[in-house]
Amino acid sequence: MQPHALPAAEAARLIRDRALSVEEMARSCLDRVMARDRQVKAWLFLDPDLVLKRARELDKRTAAGLRLGPLHGIPFGVKDVIDTSDMPTTQNSPIYPDTRPGRDAACVAIARHSGALIFGKTDTVEFAAGGRKALSTNPFNPHHTPGGSSSGSGAAVGDFQVPMAFGTQTGGSHIRPASYNNIYALKPSWSLVSREGARMSSLSLDTVGWYGRTVADLKLAAEAFRLPELPQPEIQVKGLRVGLCRSPVWGRIEPTGALALESAAKRLEAAGAIVVPLDLPPAFDGMAAARDLISADEGSGAFLPEYLAALPIMPPDIKARVERRGSFDAQKLRAAYTLADGCRAQFDGLFGPALDVVLTPASPGDAPEGLHTTGDAIFNGIWTLLQVPCVAIPCIRSARGLPCGIQLVGPRFADNRLLAIAEACAPIIDNEPNWARQTLLG
């Protein structure tokens, strides 16, 4: 297996053992990009000379016997709404075509100081919110979307160009691309990962997460970000209590999405898990609409600077968000926040002796055809508003040969326990080996 096809956890072990150099890893990833970039178009900025210079610097740390961080030598893509000190941050917007902020966002700084090789900037929906779509395509079929707004990050990891990448989520911008690109993702609990230096459109929704090819990859970054560890017993799938949650928006499911959820549930049951239907309390019926209202109203303030400075080239849909302030309804917004607060407490309270984890769709189905769309975030928005951790796991292929995954969800701030559950469940839910994915793509 070529280095670019290795999961991050395996590559990190080989680099620590000096069986693989960071430069060798970087060159393999660059070769993969050169072979596939014309089709996949994952990158907005990539400087091979800079990548190799940084790789050699990391190899010097290895050679000197210095302490190595958990992400040492791992090429890491960065969604181009997240600031980097040595690369532009354009937000895929003509308003910021060559902006160089001169400092790393907090998440990039943590990854860099944990040894990651910051590889380049991945394409995104404009501002990660609307306007221009990414040019990135789905690695499994270039006529289909890779999802969004973390389009390039999902495509780059799914196409084996880098083993890990940052995404962000306001509605479903991180978990949904994982489903479409056949990869793993963690959307952490809201507030556990600093958003400083990342473009925000919604203070109470925006969350920075990361992609990988295995749960072990996700755990590497969780270690770097020092996500809180809670005392927990060893996770066994046998006896694990899984709530099968179709959620209040089940009417929007597609046949492939329904099959993915059913397949995951049956595989877990066959392995001894106790899978029971989970109907959320009636209050949750209003959560999708509440998320949309909160996102729109918080966005109206977030994009006011661009509205004032660059109105002629501002995307019409973002412009309309700002102009919502003219019809601001304080009573409806208060009700939406109050509903979210109540549902968060109710959801956290579901977990305990009767429930370990929630199994629910990661997307309505497989990736839609066309790059005019990034798909529907309806099966993600409720969990984003609940501010809970979510782990995306690949599951099936559709009749069109496109991936479709599921997600596991836990209570707030139990991220490491959720990762432990996901690590136990993943080999059962995802029965396609990593090498088979890479072989399929070529």
Region of 160 on the Ramachandran plot (φ > 0 left; ψ -120 to 50 alpha; else beta): left
C-alpha to C-alpha distance for 168 and 158, rounded to whole angstroms: 16
- Residue 439, pLDDT score: 66
Classified as helix, coil or strand, 395 is strand
- Residue 436, pLDDT score: 66
* Domain extent listing, the chain: 3-279+348-441
Instruction: Choose, from 79, 121, 133, 187, the residue flagged as catalytic.
Output: 79
Q: Answer whether 125's CB lies under 8 Å from 147's CB.
A: no
- Residue 425, pLDDT score: 98
85 is catalytic: no
In this structure, are strands 390-397 and 184-187 parallel, antiparallel, or unpaired?
antiparallel
- Residue 229, pLDDT score: 82
173 is catalytic: yes
Q: Quick one: tokens of 196? A: 């400083």
398 is catalytic: no
Instruction: Choose, from 28, 149, 150, 179, the residue flagged as catalytic.
Output: 149
Instruction: Choose, from 173, 201, 295, 300, the residue flagged as catalytic.
Output: 173
Residue 170: which of 198, 201, 125 has the closest Cα?
201
- Residue in the block written with tokens 């993969």: 32
- The letter for the amino acid at 189 is S
- Residue 230, pLDDT score: 73
What are phi and psi for residue 211, nearest 5 degrees? -105, 150
Q: Answer whether 167's CB lies under 8 Å from 177's CB.
A: yes
Q: Answer whether 410's CB lies under 8 Å from 389's CB.
A: yes
Q: Answer whether 202's CB lies under 8 Å from 176's CB.
A: no
pLDDT in tens, the chain (442 residues): 899 999 999 999 999 999 999 999 999 999 999 999 999 999 999 999 999 999 999 999 999 999 999 999 999 999 999 999 999 999 999 999 989 999 999 999 999 999 999 999 999 999 999 999 999 999 999 999 999 999 999 999 999 999 999 999 999 999 999 999 999 999 999 999 999 999 999 999 999 999 999 999 999 999 999 999 876 778 999 999 999 999 999 999 999 999 999 999 999 999 999 999 999 999 999 999 999 999 999 999 999 999 999 999 999 999 999 998 888 899 999 999 999 999 999 999 999 999 999 999 999 999 999 999 999 999 999 999 999 999 999 999 999 999 999 999 999 999 999 999 999 999 999 987 666 676 667 6
Q: Quick one: tokens of 407? A: 């997600």
- Residue in the block written with tokens 């920075």: 208
CATH 3.90.1300.10 fits domain 3-279+348-441:
yes
Q: Answer whether 144's CB lies under 8 Å from 367's CB.
A: yes
